[in-house]
Amino acid sequence: MEPDNTTIAELQRQLAEKEAELGRVSNELVGIKEELTRVTAERSQAEEWLGERDEHFRLFVEQSHDVVYSVAPDGIINYLSPYFASFGYSTEEVISRNFIEFVAPEQRQHVIESFETGTRDGTSFPTVFKWMKKDGDHVWVEVIGNTIYDDSGNPVQQVGVMRDISKRKEQEEKNRSLLLLLDTADAECFIKDRDGKYLYVNRAFEEQFGVKREELIGKDDTFLFNPELAAELQINDQRIMASRKKEAIEEAGIVQGKHVTYR
C-alpha cells in the first residue's frame, strides 16, 4: 500500500523538526566546547599565576631576615624558615619540640599566657621575650602571630614572624641609662623634636622652671614663655639644628613671674 501524500508531508515535517533540533543541539555543543576551552585556558593561567605567587612567597620567606614560623595550638613547632639558623640551632633540632622550651625560664609564664590568649581569641599583638640559644646565651625577640581556624572555629595553627630585636633592646637600655644620668645632673637638660616640642626634661629643669615634665612633654616654648621670646628660642633651635654645630647662647626670660636665665 502506497503512503498517501498527507503521510509523506507529515514525515517530512517531522524530519525537518528533527534536523532543526539537531542543528540547535549542535550549536549548543559548539558553545559548550568553546566555554570549556576558555575555562581550561583561564584555569591554566590561574594555576601558573598561583605557582609563580607561591614561588615568590617561598623566596621571600627563605631570604627574609625574620623567622617565619608555624606552631600547633599545643605549642609544638611545625615549621621554621631558614633564617632560624642564626639563632644557633638547626631547624631539625627544634621541629616537633614545644617552643616554650626555648623561652627564658623567668619569662615562660608570661609567654604561655600571651600564646594561649592569642590562640583562643585570635588576637595579634607583639610579644617580647628572651629566646635561649644553643650556646646558653639569649637573644631578645619580638613575635607577632595570627591564628588559623578550621571550618568549625577550632584553632589549628598559629603562624607568624619572630624578629631579633637585641640591638633595639640594647639601644633602649642605653637610652634609659642616659636619661637616668641626665636626671641626676644639676644643669637643666631637655630634648626637643624637630618641631620644637619637648620630648624630655630632667628634674633640674622641672625645679628651675616650676613645671612638671608631664605638663610640658609634647608642648613647645610657647607653653613657658611669652610669644616674642618663644619665637626667638625657636629660631635659635632651628638654626642650630640646620648647622649641626654646637653653639653657646645666653637666653633670658620671665617664667611664671620668675626671672630665669639659662644657657
* pLDDT, tens only, 68-85: 888 898 999 988 888 888
DSSP class per residue in 89-121: S-HHHHTTSBGGGGB-GGGHHHHHHHHHHHHHH
Q: Of 15-19, 124-128, 137-141, 253-257, which gets the smallest average pLDDT?
A: 253-257
Adjacency order of strands within the sheet including 138-149:
77-80, 67-71, 155-164, 138-149, 127-132
pLDDT in tens, 2-52: 555 566 666 666 666 776 777 776 677 667 666 666 656 656 555 554 455
- Cβ contacts of 204 within 8 Å, gap of 6 or more: 185, 186, 187, 188, 189
CA angle 206/211/215 to nearest 5° reads: 115
Q: Whose CA is closest to 114, among 123, 104, 101, 106?
A: 123
Cα distance from N-terminal residue to C-terminal residue, the chain: 133
Read off the pLDDT of residues 188-200 as tens digits, 9 standing for 90 and up: 888 899 899 999 8
**C-alpha to C-alpha distance for 177 and 117, rounded to whole angstroms:** 34
The larger pLDDT score, comparing residue 36 to residue 246, is at 246
Full-prediction pTM beyond 0.85?
no
- Please check the confidence at residue 86 and state whether its pLDDT lies above 60: yes
